Structures are given as structure tokens and as C-alpha cells.
């Protein structure tokens, strides 16, 4: 039996409305309690650091199996702990997709072998992520899937979405959809607006998202007790629709990414494919709406939407390059820069969107420092200044728009199951 005392840190635990300087005692893989003065086998000096529940990301592309040149379970989980994440949910849009029990179990096996952080598989809604026939949902849940999604493939067929919500409700798991109308996205490269016109690039209208958001909310409202989650919302109308639906009691939630808070479509003037994301970067008015949604609680979750691609896949013409960026290792500093420093959110509010919000969505017994909980803990240095260098990423891919950014704050230590899996070396 091993005890660890994390001493003198600012303990922030939104699950207990806790924010104070204190000590946290661990015994083996469990939390004993806060403000314990017990003698421990190991002492961690957390003076000047934030001590919080381990961060959770609700959708991360691992790329394995099938696209190991972009990322593997081992490299993605290494990136996760470097970013302060103790738990991540893995996207099923791999090759082959995670649409049966054995595939879900494969992800769990590879995560166990990697020995970095907890990985919770997301199972495909439809077979092959083709949107035509429901996958074996019961078997996926039995195999460890905590939610259902077709990843970046929108569930365009309304009947399929309706039945997915029905079946998912039977197993008490949420359906996560990427709200984009494929016909409106078309061959779009960026947000449809001033800059797409100036640059002569095919645009993706904001309506491509808000129409799908409206449809999904309508389906959820007529499907009692189902759980709908909309990934990566990016428009003013989407936030307004979700806000009104929640006020009416519809069980709908959503998340937003740091890059949709920190960047706008003006960045595409550089023709750098690292600014090409899906949904696309929007205008400043949309960014302001996302921030308001975070402030008033409409948006309860922030996700990295980690989408790794090998350099040769991204380093081509903008209209041919795939959508997506890596985000696990930059989420914290970008959130600090866009939300904490401008005082849009407090530290407890930000941490809630990275712990209790994700844990609630996925039904995880995580995201808390309560006595008896798993000893998954993140220590954050909120003041350290550093420059983002993609060459130092633990991820296998380097496709980030934040290279060279001077930022403040990062994970100092990541503890998973009572074991230190990452420690910042200075």
C-alpha cells in the first residue's frame, strides 16, 4: 500500500464546488481526502500549482487501426497525458470502423498496452460509418463503448438518426453527431463569407450546421429521455437553438473546440492547410456567440477534437488537404489565452468544462476529487510561459495552427490511477 500527499496546491474540484489551498491524499489508486496532514510515502509539492480532477476529452481520433502513419493509440495517449488528460474517448471512424464488439475491445487492449491514460471507445452508429444501417449497438456497449457516433461522418438520414436515438436510449448512452448537412458542405474549403469570396475558395455556409442542429433537436424532442450531443458547434444560430431547446427540457448538449475560440476564417488568407478544420473557422461574431454559450452554460464541454494527419497529407493544396488539427497538447494554453486571461471564465468554470461536463455526458465515474474516487489528477502550472513547438509534440502528427505561439500555462503533472504518467521537465 502506497500513499501520496499532494501538498499546498490550489485544489479546484467543480464536482464539490471546491476552490481552496490544501493537501490531497492518495492511497494506491484511490483518493483518500482533502486537507489531510497524514504522513505519506511520497510527497508532491504543488505550491503555486492548480490541483484538479484529471481532464477528460470526449472525442479524440486515434487513427488506429488503419491509419497508423497519422497516429496510434500509444502516441495519442502519450499526447493526451502531456496535455493533462487522464481520460479520452476514442472516435470510431478508423479503418475498419469501430462498429462491432471485437473492434471496441481492440481499442481497450491497445490502450492497456500503451499504459498512458484511460481510453473509452465510442462505437459507430452505423455499419462502416456509411449512414445506411445501424451497427450492433448492444454488442458495442457490451464491448465497452460509452457512446455512439459516426465521428466526422454526419448522420444525414433522419430515420437512421431517429432509430439511433431510440436504441441508444435503451442502453442509456448518448448519440454524438457531427451536425453538418453534407449537401450544403459539398466541396467547401472554408466558412462562406467575405474571405471565401475574396480568396475565391468554395464556402461552407453556417446554415449547413444550424439546419442539422435544428433537425437533431426536433428528433430528440420527440424521443423521450434520449440523449443527444452535438460535436464542435461553431455558429451563432446553433448556440441559440441549443440554448432554447435546453430551456424547454430537451436532453441536448454540445461541445466547442479551442481553435474555434482562438481563430477566425481570416486566417485562411495564409492558404495554410493547418487552418482548415471541420466545421470551418468562422467569423468573429460566431466566436463571440460561442464564448457567450460557454459563459451561460449552454456549452458544457470543451474538446480538443484531436484530428492528426501526417505531414505529407496536409502539406498540399488547400482545397485537397484534409480537414483537422491536433489539439490534445495545446488545449490548455489556448483555453487560458482565450477564456481565462480575458476573464470570460474563471478557473473553476473552465475546469468544469474539462471534467464534470465530459464525465456527465459519457457516464464516467471520473472528473472528481471526492474520497474513494479514482486517483486521476492533473496538476497545472497556470503561470509558466512557453512557446508552442510542434517538433516537441508527443503526437505522431504536427498539424497545428498554433506553432510559434507564445502562451501561458500547461500541465505540470498527470497522475492516472495513482501513478505519475507525465511530468513536465524544465
Tens-place pLDDT, residues 53-101: 999 999 999 999 999 999 999 999 999 999 999 999 999 999 999 999 9
181 and 35 within one domain: no
pLDDT tens, residue by residue, 314-351: 999 999 999 999 999 999 999 999 999 999 999 999 99
Q: Which residues contact 143 (CB under 8 A, 6 or more apart)?
A: 100, 101, 102, 103, 104, 105, 121, 123
Shared-domain flag, residues 357 and 379: no
What pLDDT digit, counting tens, does each position of 207-239 carry?
Answer: 999 999 999 999 999 988 899 999 999 999 999
pTM higher than the cut 0.85: yes
Q: Is 360 helix (H, G, I), strand (E, B) or coil?
A: helix
Q: Are residues 134 and 175 in the same domain?
A: yes
The candidate with the shortest Cα–Cα distance to 218, out of 210, 314, 407, 204, is 210
Sign, Cα dihedral of 391, 397, 403, 405: negative
Other CB atoms within a 10 A radius of the CB of residue 226 amount to 23
Q: Please indicate, yes or no, whether residues 235 and 117 belong to a single structural domain of this protein.
A: yes
Find the CATH number of the domain harbouring 400: 2.30.40.10
Same domain flag for 355 and 225: yes
CATH classification of the domain holding 217:
3.20.20.140
Residue 175's beta-bridge partner residues? 148, 228
pLDDT tens digits, one per residue of 162-181? 999 999 999 999 999 999 99
End-of-domain residue from the set 341, 362, 383: 362
Residues 383 and 404 in one domain: yes
In a domain, 369, yes or no: no
Say if 348 falls within a structural domain: yes
CB 404 within 8 A of CB 387: yes
Q: Which of 362, 387, 412 is the last residue of a domain?
A: 362
C-beta of residue 149 within 8 angstroms of C-beta of residue 177: yes
Residue 250 lies in a domain: yes
- Mean pLDDT score of the chain: 97
**Cα atoms in the 13 Å half-sphere on the side-chain side of 193:** 19
| Greatest distance between any 2 Cα atoms in the chain | 66
Flag whether pLDDT at 126 surpasses 70: yes
Provide φ and ψ at 394, rounded to 5°. Answer: -85, -20
Last residue of a domain, one of 315, 332, 362: 362
What's the whole-number mean pLDDT along residues 7-21? 97
Show which residues are catalytic.
Answer: 305
pLDDT at 426 over 70: no
What single-letter DSSP state applies at residue 398? Answer: -
| Contact (Cβ atoms closer than 8 angstroms) between residue 415 and residue 25 | no
| CB-based contacts of 388, cutoff 8 Å, min separation 6 | 330, 333, 400, 402, 403, 404, 405, 407
**pLDDT exceeding 90 applies to what percent of the chain?**
97
Distance of CA 196 to the CA centre of its chain: 28
Q: How many domains, the chain?
A: 2
Is the separation of the CB atoms in 229 and 255 below 8 Å?
A: yes
Could you tell me if residue 326 is inside a domain? yes
DSSP 374: B
- Burial of residue 70 (number of CB atoms within 10 Å: 0-12, 13-18, 19+): buried
- For residue 233, being part of any structural domain is answered with yes
pLDDT value of residue 1: 80
Which is it for the CA torsion 389, 392, 398, 399, positive or negative?
Answer: negative
Residue 133 lies in a domain: yes
3-state secondary structure of 194: helix
Nearest Cα residue to 24 out of 411, 371, 365 = 371
Examine the domain organization and report whether 357 and 413 are in the same domain: no
User: So what's the pLDDT on residue 39?
Assistant: 81
Residue 41 lies in a domain: yes
The DSSP secondary structure of 81-115, one letter per residue, reads: HHTTEEEEEE-S-SSS-S-SHHHHHHHHHHHHHHT
Share of the chain above pLDDT 70, in %: 100
pLDDT of 116: 98
Structural domain that includes position 67: 54-362
- On whether both 71 and 151 belong to a single domain, the answer is yes
pLDDT above 80 for 37: no
355-409, pLDDT tens digit by residue? 999 999 999 999 999 999 999 999 999 999 999 999 999 999 999 999 999 999 9
Q: Which residues contact 157 (CB under 8 A, 6 or more apart)?
A: 131, 132
C-alpha 309/C-alpha 70 separation (Å) is 5
State the pLDDT confidence band at 35, using cuts at 50, 70 and 90: confident
Higher-confidence residue: 40 or 291?
A: 291
In a domain, 367, yes or no: no
Looking at the structure, do residues 81 and 202 belong to the same domain, yes or no? Answer: yes
- Laid out side by side, the sheet with 252-256 consists of 55-60, 85-90, 118-123, 147-149, 175-177, 228-230, 252-256, 301-302
For residue 65, say if its preceding peptide bond is cis, omega within 30 degrees of 0.
Answer: yes
Identify whether residues 13 and 103 lie together within a single domain. no
The answer on 310 and 237 residing in a single domain is yes
Say whether both 28 and 78 belong to one domain: no
Amino acid at each position: 500500500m502506497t500513499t501520496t500527499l499532494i501538498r499546498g496546491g490550489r485544489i479546484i474540484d467543480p464536482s464539490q464546488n471546491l476552490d481552496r489551498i490544501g493537501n490531497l491524499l492518495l492511497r494506491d489508486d484511490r483518493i483518500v481526502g482533502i486537507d489531510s496532514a497524514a504522513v505519506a510515502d511520497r510527497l508532491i509539492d504543488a505550491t503555486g500549482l492548480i490541483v484538479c480532477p484529471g481532464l477528460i476529452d470526449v472525442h479524440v481520433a486515434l487513427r488506429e487501426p488503419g491509419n497508423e502513419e497519422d497516429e496510434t493509440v500509444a502516441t495519442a495517449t502519450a499526447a493526451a497525458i502531456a496535455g493533462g488528460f487522464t481520460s479520452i474517448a476514442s472516435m470510431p471512424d478508423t479503418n475498419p470502423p469501430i462498429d462491432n464488439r471485437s473492434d471496441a475491445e481492440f481499442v481497450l487492449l491497445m490502450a492497456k498496452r500503451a499504459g498512458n491514460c484511460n481510453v473509452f471507445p465510442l462505437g459507430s452508429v452505423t455499419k462502416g460509418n456509411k449512414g445506411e444501417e445501424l451497427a450492433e449497438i448492444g454488442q458495442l456497449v457490451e464491448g465497452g463503448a460509452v457512446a455512439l457516433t459516426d465521428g466526422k461522418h454526419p448522420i444525414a438520414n433522419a430515420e437512421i438518426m431517429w432509430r439511433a436515438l431510440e436504441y441508444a436510449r435503451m442502453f442509456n448512452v448518448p448519440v454524438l453527431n457531427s451536425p453538418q448537412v453534407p449537401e450544403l458542405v459539398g466541396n467547401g474549403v472554408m466558412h462562406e463569407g467575405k474571405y471565401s469570396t475574396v480568396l475565391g475558395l468554395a464556402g461552407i455556409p453556417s446554415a449547413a450546421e444550424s439546419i442539422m442542429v435544428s433537425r437533431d433537436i426536433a428528433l430528440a424532442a420527440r424521443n423521450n429521455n434520449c440523449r443527444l450531443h452535438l460535436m464542435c458547434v461553431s455558429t451563432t444560430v446553433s448556440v441559440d437553438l441549443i440554448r432554447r431547446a435546453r430551456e424547454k427540457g430537451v436532453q441536448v448538449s454540445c461541445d466547442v473546440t479551442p481553435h474555434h475560440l482562438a481563430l477566425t476564417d481570416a486566417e485562411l488568407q495564409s492558404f495554410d492547410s493547418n487552418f482548415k478544420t471541420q466545421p470551418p473557422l468562422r467569423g468573429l461574431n460566431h466566436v463571440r456567440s460561442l464564448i457567450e454559450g460557454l459563459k451561460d452554460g449552454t456549452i458544457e464541454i470543451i474538446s480538443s477534437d484531436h484530428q492528426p494527419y501526417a505531414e505529407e497529407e496536409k502539406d498540399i493544396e488547400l482545397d485537397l488537404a484534409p480537414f483537422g488539427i491536433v489539439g490534445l497538447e495545446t488545449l490548455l494554453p489556448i483555453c487560458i489565452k482565450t477564456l481565462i486571461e480575458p476573464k470570460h471564465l474563471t478557473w473553476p468554470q473552465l475546469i468544469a468544462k474539462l471534467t464534470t461536463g465530459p464525465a456527465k455526458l459519457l457516464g464516467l465515474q471520473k472528473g472528481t476529487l471526492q474520497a474513494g474516487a479514482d486517483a486521476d489528477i492533473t496538476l497545472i502550472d497556470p503561470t509558466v510561459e512557453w512557446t508552442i513547438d510542434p517538433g516537441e509534440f508527443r503526437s505522431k502528427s504536427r498539424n497545428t495552427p498554433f506553432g510559434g505561439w507564445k502562451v501561458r500555462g500547461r500541465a505540470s503533472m498527470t497522475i492516472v490511477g495513482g501513478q505519475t504518467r507525465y511530468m513536465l521537465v524544465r
